[in-house]
Structure 1
Amino acid sequence: MLSLQRSVSGRRFRNLSNSGIPRTFGIVIGCVGRRMGAAQRDEGGRPMATTETKTVNGISVPPAGRWEFDKAHTSFSFVARHMLSKVRGQFPEYEGSVQIAEKPEESKIVVELNAAALTTGNEMRDGHLNSADFFLTGRYPTIRFESTEIRVGEGNEFEIDGNLTIKDITNPVTFKAEFLGWGPGMRDTTMAAFSAKTTVERADWDLTWNMSVETGGLLVGKKVDLEIDAEILKAE
């Protein structure tokens, strides 16, 4: 388990489990940002009745319930160094949700990516990434992330601790995240949006393939950036 009182980039993040502030993923999405949009009204222009909105530090919190990723506005991607350039890839096929509980400490985020569907825009490279040199997707078809802890930072910043499983190897990771807002969406939906990033050592998941280059150094960087750009919708 990662330290719950760790300092990142000079900022102190609080362990919410001991502060009385909700520490769950979905709740913190609302805690560190601002609500978007105006109150909904009926056909006569009168404000519609709504349930009481919870607040943390004076900021409204999304309602409890199941939230699903809007696949038209969500991406799970990675960026890796290839010699002097960078290669960006995405996992376009995935399943997952955010469950915001009435008791915030019971909320959860779980995402499962279809590793075999990864794409970098180059079929030969994608085939290599699917092979035994990297993800070995014929044996390990799924990449899984499950959150374990949330900490609120400054402004709209927060952190997501969780377990990342690749090739049946599980390691803890921490995403530095930014809340982008929540409120009424299109077609009578309620939406929230956030982005998150982390950097990992690929060798921690037995992704060690590499080659030396004539000019010195390695063909593939040892570190990989993982990025999430997400919009979630409250399920009915």
Structure 2
Amino acid sequence: MTVTQQRLPTGTWQSDPVHSSVTFRVKHLGVSTFRAGFAEIDASYDGDSGTLTGSVPVASLDISQEDLRGHLLSAEFFDADRHPEVRFTATEVHRGDGDALVVPGELTISGVTKPVQARGRIGEPGDGMGGDRRIEIELSATIDRRDFGMDWQAELPGGKVAVANDVTLEVVLELTQPAE
């Protein structure tokens, strides 16, 4: 683990699935931003070893329109039948000035693993309602979906496309540490 400026919290922290989220946003038709997310998340942070890992089951994609959900789960996008999980593993966790974080790591989508650098912030630890300790980590990264085999596209009049290639991933983790 590489730490700059201030020290990161120590010990093992586990995501609270009710208060954590993984979402993505992408330009649609060149005029609006489409947002979606996953209903399930499992993440952990070990402050002693500097590891941060997280995964979401692709089947937990939370979109109410079934045709669109089916298309996104198909081989043209997430390929959920062959690759049922999206996974991120941090290779380092850097704390910069104040609450800033830089987290380089490896992101696996549709069976393809690529390096990604996430940026975000970490909150100060606080007490939970049950005597546990809690922290928040927020991360964001922009990827090119084609790097992960998501090549589907529909050309539109005027040179626009149905779905932009750049996709922004946003992760909000509320992590808990049991009371000692």
Unaligned runs of 5+ in 1: 1-15, 32-55
Q: More relative contact order in 1 or in 2 (CA 8 Å, sep 6+)? A: 2
Q: For the Cα contact (< 8 Å) 1:87–1:120, is it kept in 2?
A: no
Unaligned runs of 5+ in 2: none
Q: For the Cα contact (< 8 Å) 1:88–1:120, is it kept in 2?
A: no
Give the TM-score normalised by structure 1: 0.70
Q: For the Cα contact (< 8 Å) 1:109–1:146, is it kept in 2?
A: yes
Q: Which amino acid aligns with 1:69?
A: S
For residues 26-75 of structure 1, the C-alpha deviation after alignment (integer angstroms, 9 at most, x for no partner) is xx9xx4xxxxxxxxxxxxxxxxxxxxxxxx4xxxx5342x2110111110
TM superposition shift of 1:153: 2.4
Which shifted more, 178-187 or 71-80? 178-187
Secondary structure of residue in 1 paired with 2:124: strand
Q: Distance in 2 between matches of 1:109 and 1:156?
A: 17
Give the TM-score normalised by structure 2: 0.91
Q: Which amino acid aligns with 1:114?
A: P
Q: Which amino acid aligns with 1:77?
A: T
User: Residue 24 of structure 2 is aligned with which of 56, 75, 78?
Assistant: 78
The answer for the alignment partner of 2:58 in structure 1 is 115
The answer for the alignment partner of 1:5 in structure 2 is none
Secondary structure of residue in 1 paired with 2:136: strand
Q: What are the residue-to-residue correspondences of 1:29-44 with 2, within 5 Å?
A: 31=6
The answer for the alignment partner of 2:108 in structure 1 is 165
Larger Rg: 1
The answer for the alignment partner of 1:98 in structure 2 is 45
The answer for the alignment partner of 1:125 in structure 2 is 68
Q: Distance in 2 between matches of 1:120 and 1:86?
A: 15
| Cα RMSD, aligned residues only | 1.8
Q: For the Cα contact (< 8 Å) 2:42–2:56, is it kept in 1?
A: yes
Q: For the Cα contact (< 8 Å) 2:153–2:163, is it kept in 1?
A: yes
Which shifted more, 92-101 or 207-216? 92-101
Aligned length: 178
Q: Distance in 2 between matches of 1:180 and 1:119?
A: 27
Q: Which amino acid aligns with 2:91?
A: T
User: Residue 78 of structure 2 is aligned with which of 100, 117, 135?
Assistant: 135
- Structure 1's 153 and 180: CA in aligned 2 closer, same or farther, altered over 3 A? same
Q: Distance in 1 between matches of 2:155 and 2:107?
A: 28
**Which structure's residues are more often strand, by fraction?**
2
TM superposition shift of 1:95: 2.2
Q: Distance in 2 between matches of 1:179 and 1:142?
A: 25
Q: For the Cα contact (< 8 Å) 2:138–2:171, is it kept in 1?
A: yes
Q: Which amino acid aligns with 1:177?
A: G
